[in-house]
Amino acid sequence: MIIVKIGGSVFSDKKGQPENFDEETVRRIAKEIAGFYPDEDFIVVHGGGSFGHPYAKEYGIREGLPEEWEAANRRRIGFTLTHQAMLRANERFIEVFVREGLPAFSVSTSSVFITENGDVAYGDVEVIERLLELKFIPMLFGDVSIDLAKGIEILSGDQIITYLTKMLEPNKVVFLMDVDGIYDGRPGEGSLVQNLTRDEIDGLLERLNCLAAGTDVTGGICNKLAEAKKIAEHSEVWFVNGKVPGRLSGAIRGDGFGTRITG
């Protein structure tokens, strides 16, 4: 089983029109997956792009649920609007996958996972496992979450994958990004890291100055690397460019161009 993460920046321009969706890129990704399915099983997880983020930010979801009733109710409404925006993104993905003959099935992240300060505290993977057995392609997404500490939170697609990897032990996890992989420095400046072992991640995190807090609600490359370190305990991890045809297929076959992290 292979888990494919489709990063927000691959299918949507966060700085563009609200809820813009790069259907052509998603169709090409679906076609690449169709080249391996049903011999290989897949779980797909996508990010928020221009769908969930604007609501999450406007309503301050990451700040949790306040005490005062009116403020709390406004945030509850924001929580539900963020989820609905993510469902609209998810609907677009399902439509494209179905058109390619792939039985992708929407699983609502917030119906299944509970977080504690943003980390998955609990997640029932029973439905996901049975969907896989029946040869569906479960499709999850970054979403809002009920949080044991803060009341409400945002749960990123990357963190879902960390949890799923621990529970389901995939053969491979492929992260699709809008750059060629992990760079030792800024993309375009530092050089692409093509092979990385789990033990080398800490050094890279340090060189990338990952101790400073990010601004992206779901974290940028530092969070990705930190999650990748946890994932690599259980599975091979690839970071490849989702905008370039063939890169996903290369990662699935194992001879692709990008960053490969081994345990």
> Binding site for substrate: what residues are annotated?
48, 53, 157
Residues 5, 28, 53, 83: which binds a second copy (CB under 8 A)? 83
Cα 56 from Cα 63, distance rounded (Å): 10
Q: Does 105 bind a second copy (CB under 8 A)?
A: yes
Q: What ranges make up the beta strands (E) of the chain?
A: 2-6, 42-46, 104-106, 113-116, 119-123, 137-141, 143-147, 151-155, 172-177, 183-184, 191-192, 195-197, 236-241, 259-262
Q: Which tokens belong to 129?
A: 């496992």
> Binding site: what residues are annotated?
5-9, 48-49, 53, 157, 178, 220, 224
Q: Does 122 bind a second copy (CB under 8 A)?
A: yes
* Binding segment toward a second copy, per CB under 8 A, in 6-14, 80-88, 183-191, 236-244: 80-88
Binding residues for a second copy, total number by CB under 8 A: 40
Please, what sign has the CA dihedral across residues 9, 12, 18, 19?
Answer: negative
Nearer of residues 104 and 237 to a second copy, judged by Cβ: 104
Cβ atoms of 46 and 89 within 8 Å: the answer is yes
Nearer of residues 95 and 200 to a second copy, judged by Cβ: 95
Q: Does 77 bind a second copy (CB under 8 A)?
A: yes
Please, what sign has the CA dihedral across residues 224, 237, 175, 207?
Answer: positive
- Closest Cα to residue 74, out of 50, 58, 86? 58
CB of 37 to a second copy, least distance (A): 10
Query: What residues between 9 and 68 interact with a second copy by CB under 8 A?
Result: 38, 65
- To the nearest 10°, the Cα dihedral for 138, 141, 144, 145? 40
x/- map, 130-169, a second copy, by CB under 8 A: xx--xxx---------x----xx-----------------
CB of 140 to a second copy, least distance (A): 9
Cβ atoms of 107 and 12 within 8 Å: the answer is no
**Contact set with a second copy (CB under 8 A):** 38, 65, 69, 72-73, 76-77, 79-81, 83-84, 87, 91, 94-95, 98, 101, 103-108, 110-112, 114, 122, 124, 126-127, 130-131, 134-136, 146, 151-152
